[in-house]
Amino acid sequence: MELELAKTTLTEKSKTIQLNKIEEAIEKEGGQIFYFSKENPHKNLVKLVEYFEEKNFSVYLREVRYGLGEGDFMYEVHIL
């Protein structure tokens, strides 16, 4: 599965990350926080949560609002 990371600036080009790269980062450094673009389908993020819960990780998914607009949000995923 490939997910699109949230941009850190308005002019930055979108970056993607593979599920195995997320898993490698967690195994290497322990718990991680990832920010994903709103362009990702919500069902893919739910699959990500389920995948890591099956591997006995604690996973928290939430929407982070950064403006007043309806589309001004990103997804935040904590994997511990």
* pLDDT per position as a tens digit, 27-65: 998 889 999 999 999 999 999 999 999 999 999 999 999
Of the pLDDT bands very low, low, confident and very high (cuts 50, 70, 90), residue 18 is very high
- Predicted pLDDT at 39: 94
CA nearest neighbour of 25 among 77, 64, 62: 77
Q: Show the tokens assigned to 27.
A: 């195994």
Q: Phi first, then psi: what are they for 62, rounded to 5°?
A: -150, 160
pLDDT given for residue 35 in this prediction? 96
Quote the distance between the C-alpha of residue 36 and its chain's center. Answer: 4
CA–CA separation, 69 vs 41, rounded Å?
Answer: 19
Instruction: Supply the pLDDT for residue 10.
Output: 82
pLDDT at position 3 is 96
Q: Does the pLDDT at position 77 exceed 90?
A: yes
Closest alpha carbon to 42 in 12, 15, 73: 73
